[in-house]
Amino acid sequence: MKNNEKVLLSGLSILEDYVKQGKIPGGQIAFVTKDEAGFNHAGYAQTVDEEVMVDENTLYDIASLTKVVSTTTMALTLIEKGYFSLKTPLKQLLPEFRFDNVLIQHVLSHTSGICFDDKAYKSLHGRKQILDFVCAKELEFEPGTKVVYSDFGFVLLGFAIENIVGRLDEYAKKVIFDPLKMNNTIYRPEDHNMKQRCAATEITSDRGLVKGEVHDGKAYRLDGLSGNAGLFSNSQDLSRFVRMLLNQGQLEENRILSKATINLFKKCYTEGLNSRRTLGWICNDSNTHMGDYYSDKCIFHTGFTGTSIYVDFVRECGIILLTNRVHPNRDNNSIMELRDKVHNVMLCEFDNR
């Protein structure tokens, strides 16, 4: 990583400054190329009850990064194997869903019209109750006519994948995490005796201090296994995922996705609509916080807890930023400014090498 050490340190200095100012508790940062990755960290994984420093082994609740690292990737592996296509109606995979005009492509690009949120889910628990609740709701707009980010769309996609392969965590481990040697990327950390390694998230009125269990309310009511959230990981593991994307779907001896599938990520599926989306990911959209120097062929996604991944297919590099900005509470929006600054300094430093 010698050639790119200055790139990593430029981003780390911004991260450290935000920690010193008390804008975030702490975080991990990584700069990734096709051949290597460098990592560093700063600050605290926990500041309430006790102070716990971040280290390279800290695991972060990556929240909605679950949608792209796990759920989207699993869906695409099943497309490659012929189980369905982007044009397959969701109803074919999930018979409880009532609408024939919602395609898998709509769900992946957040153009499905499926309800984006309804806090009434908080009284529910388990797959059947949540499935019945979402399936009973009307579509909020004609599929394909606009982009509205939908957690519930990915919850249903997770259910559809389960109908084909069984448990999400077991299939993700088999086809993504084990082949990529992402040994610290897991659902339900307590099941793996990893709860104490997790960065704390929010202090809530009903759950107290959340640590080592999923922060997201929908995934929590699905016992930590959901298509929209639930995954825990660290910068080292996620760098291997990014390197796979940069190497056209393969890392070392293991192919996760085909070259043709990686090329799909370079296509915008929402041209002319209100937001630019590819399959699962955001693509080169000026209305998002990935800095000012993003390329014409890039993908980006964030997680509510304070996490993000940027993959640049032109520069052949990636940036991973993992924080627990919701600790001890969610009233902290400095993460958006932090992402812009970190991406700007790192991409400028990379271009100036």
Give 29's strand partners: 40, 321
Quote the tokens at residue 33: 């190329």
Residue 180 has pLDDT above 80, yes or no: yes
Q: Exposed, middle or buried by CB within 10 Å (0-12, 13-18, 19+), for 67?
A: buried
Cβ proximity of 229 and 76 under 8 Å: no
Those residues whose C-beta lies under 8 Å from the C-beta of residue 57, and which sit 6 or more positions away, are 184, 197, 234
Distance of alpha carbon 353 from alpha carbon 349, whole angstroms: 6
pLDDT band at 228 (very low <50, low <70, confident <90, very high): very high
pLDDT for 198: 98
Distance of alpha carbon 328 from alpha carbon 50, whole angstroms: 12
Distance of alpha carbon 214 from alpha carbon 147, whole angstroms: 26
Domains of the chain: 2-69+168-351 (3.40.710.10)
Cβ proximity of 117 and 216 under 8 Å: no
Distance of alpha carbon 237 from alpha carbon 231, whole angstroms: 12
Cβ proximity of 60 and 233 under 8 Å: yes
Q: Where are the beta strands (DSSP E) in the chain?
A: 26-33, 37-46, 52-53, 60-61, 186-187, 203-204, 208-209, 231-233, 250-251, 254-255, 282-283, 298-303, 307-312, 317-323
Region 328-337: what's the mean pLDDT? 94
Model confidence pLDDT, tens digit, residues 73-118: 999 999 999 999 999 999 999 999 999 999 999 999 999 999 999 9
pLDDT for 332: 87
pLDDT band at 3 (very low <50, low <70, confident <90, very high): confident
Region 315-328: what's the mean pLDDT? 98
Model confidence pLDDT, tens digit, residues 199-210: 999 999 999 999
Cβ proximity of 308 and 301 under 8 Å: yes
Give 40's strand partners: 29
Model confidence pLDDT, tens digit, residues 128-167: 999 999 999 999 999 999 999 999 999 999 999 999 999 9
Q: Which of 59, 55, 92, 93 is nearest to 74 (CA)?
A: 93
Quote the tokens at residue 265: 């990520």
Residue 1 has pLDDT above 90, yes or no: no
Element (H, E) at 216: none
DSSP string, 86-133: TTSBHHHH-TT---TT-BHHHHHTT-S------GGGGG--SHHHHHHH
Q: Which of 270, 348, 282, 275 is nearest to 309 (CA)?
A: 282
pLDDT for 219: 98
Model confidence pLDDT, tens digit, residues 18-46: 999 999 999 999 999 999 999 999 999 99
